Structure 1
């Protein structure tokens, strides 16, 4: 039995509801009727060997399967268990298997092993390997041969992957690989080598989750093609073979966004690095995968930032940390994205649980309504009570998941006599107090440790001087005095962290606090050379250009990035107007961020930004940062700061140095 005969039998037994006409089969398989007659003889021979010859009828014009479901299952099971002795591989099929085996094998493979596996002569193996060798030259890959150990494939990882995929994919049957039984022996063997079954559920869940998050509609054909590539990459990663960096600046934005979302979803499960995302993008483009992502401000780097800012304010109201619930952020981003689509298309959402939610959770509903302006102003949308109730449901579900806690201080333990002492002290601290133990280190390393970690208190067995974080000196065996001092200090920290709902100034030191490293990154974004005051312009486009050119002249962004900042406003409206009189222009980092930086432009006369309630605008900032957690945190703090009344007052008359001084004083490290 060969590939064609196998496919014919498969088609017959999986189409029991009607006969298959000879003409239909001939056209589908691209062969003559005489060839189909010849195939039928082998079909009957095979079914006779299984003892179920009577299940197939052929009158010279049409085939019909007449067996029972049990007989069909028996035939399928038999077809799935065919060996390469019973199933005659074509030359291309043999080369596919050889290539997959040699690239994916972790040890050298001997010719005799290949000969026994494929049930062919040694000369056939040699000829197939020679054909692969000739093709490999175009991909900078080659064989290494050892008489004792055998063969293995060497070359750059990206080139090996591309060689395999370019060879395999044009003839690959995705439907058979993922959706249909039986699977022919060649396909089945390759799926085992590439670990298709092992990683299918992980990759499939990831793609489906991204499909929902980005509001995509992926066809079945494209879904299986994408799924195959993603599984292949996961398999390579899990065996220690990482991709190398690829330039992706010329690739479609939709593929970039989709691939980045897939990568973000996978990072917690496999060692998915940025180079894997780049390879994924390139491969999908080479396969002519076209994805249409519906237009929403989620294309903007500020979309998630605005939602995080909303969660930050809600966290203050509840005195709970909603930002730590990654699942809540994911669900809320997807919901708000879908909400934007509904509003753009004029659709209204009816929430059947609105009245019940308002009555049962009246105080909670009021809190969400009190903070909903952040989403409305930030995304330039209007959210009804129906939408607000659904947002509240996400918040309540997060609370039920039990992932939210009252403020827990971050503690660093230091000692001078070894880690055993530090561990013993840490055990006592966690026994008596509800704290988050960040790390244990030697005393001389404390200064370095607090640079990159948010530490509220250092508890040390030796005195520490000149550190920006408060410290307490205690005995290795905690005394009652030690316990009292620690308890008093933790109570003080708790008191500082509490934020009253009646406090009209919702921007405490905590709301603007960041790590020492993030503060350094924040201040580096600004420079007096990137501040231009009292500029005369005629419209908002000219304002964005003037602000963007301050970055362009210093080679912080490309011309394309500047154009994209304008295009985003044209596409989505004036959603970048985030506070009265203030606009924060930006684009996606992939559009041309060369080096992170922010410019600030104060206009001599304000200009209108459409019909936004915060228009006209007199302050325009052009922001260019990378898509990293550190810069995400910095942007949240920056947007919070820009909304403060004292910022607007200061900007009316301040010079460049006063503006920089304001930022330095207001963005605080927790101990300041």
Structure 2
């Protein structure tokens, strides 16, 4: 409710006193922003209790005193303290809709509640969220925030708004008791958008002959309100792409026309229009009754349930097959739209499954029953066959031992691409058909046939019929999990080349060791682990007092690159123009040089500005931020005279990062002797 300052201001306004924001700021020793906050709180209470809100003239704030305020303050004093349910509703409103996150100190002051009480509430909420696989996390300066699937969080937002609208519309409910909840609700939800949502639903029911049932009305209202009230909608680009077919529908055009008129805008965001059209399509199909609203909005759930059911029937785990998931995501809703509008698909491949009475059709029929019951639709034979086609391909992917053919795209240049290629071959049985720089992919892709996947370390602007999987330049556990979703399993066992050579050495005389090693590597290819080279030897040899430098702070990333480049220039490895080339590469292509948070490898292409192959190491105490938000305080800069001389450097570096705590240890050093100590202790060399 109102705090003592707000109550005092309201009392004086009722008595006819006039205020301005400067006067409030000076009287209570608060900022202009806080003064405005006090008046906003007073207005929200007055509005809630059906009083006229404050009048704001040029330099004056007043209240119409011709209103009956007889019982107002008495009523406010008698309002119960916030219940736990109301506290949790307020905390959820902040977590769901406040971009700054939830700050405990701030909310305790606003609600005049102890930290212990708020922490208990957060603990209860955390348990509730975990059931939906949503995590409540604390991020220092950003306070508490929610992590989880975007659609799961969206459903919880809709549930909360639906509950608030139920209480607002309940004539038997006392609005006074919920006053604090409503105050926060109207802080995040604009009254204008509520009115616009009402107008839209009335108009769309009329134009499209919809029948929105009472059971679903508040859910639908809340969802449309969220779409109109908040700009950021999409977290998953697959969602957007899968629904793009709606852009060409009559429903989309009608919705666009209605919204342009209501919002008085010449253009409405495509994402908003797609989402609302998708919602209207669901209402058209079964009025979103029988508790089907959540499943329609979060179709991921129904698709995963279907895949799980198929997996049990065919006795093969398809649940991690991302290609199958995307295939069904792009099919289920469009299929329902076609059914509703009597549109039939024709495709000889799918028809073949029907003519041959393929057993996969029975599998699909069993797996699709729950969706048919939920949305009151019956999928025809051709739609069943299309789903069967996706499922058959998935079964083949997940049971076949066929080696996957992949194209590798890397933004870090030839050297790091080769190192990543080697790492992939060590971990997987893959046929890497080619390694391409990102700028050649558009022109090169048409030349390749029967490619299963594109693996890329950067985001690709173009879309391809082949699945694109983004991985880290240094393979992490998350990459192994992601690749497994595409049917690529990690190699469990590999032969150690070091141990193999020891066995050969102990049982025979080796005439040409180098030739033998090369023949073994060529013969066994991906089945062998090349562990002959000692890790760190190359870097240890190349780094010395002359090419190492520590500084406390730099102005920005450009200064960091310049300092790292200056070391190369001082050691006669490069000409001065090479430094400008490094900076231009980042300006053009982004912070691709950050291979892991904390470390960057500045470099430029081979040119006349490279005098010889060499490296420099710059360590900065304060981390430097790049335009994409990533940061680094270790800068291992290099120049190479040809395409191969730096491969050993990069291979060494990647091994040190993944296995020998290079980033953690080196980021703390301040002098060259500590670098020597790292190599001595970690690598025992």
TM-score normalised to structure 1 length:
0.31
Q: Which has the higher contact order (CA 8 A, sep 6+)?
A: 1
TM-score normalised to structure 2 length:
0.31
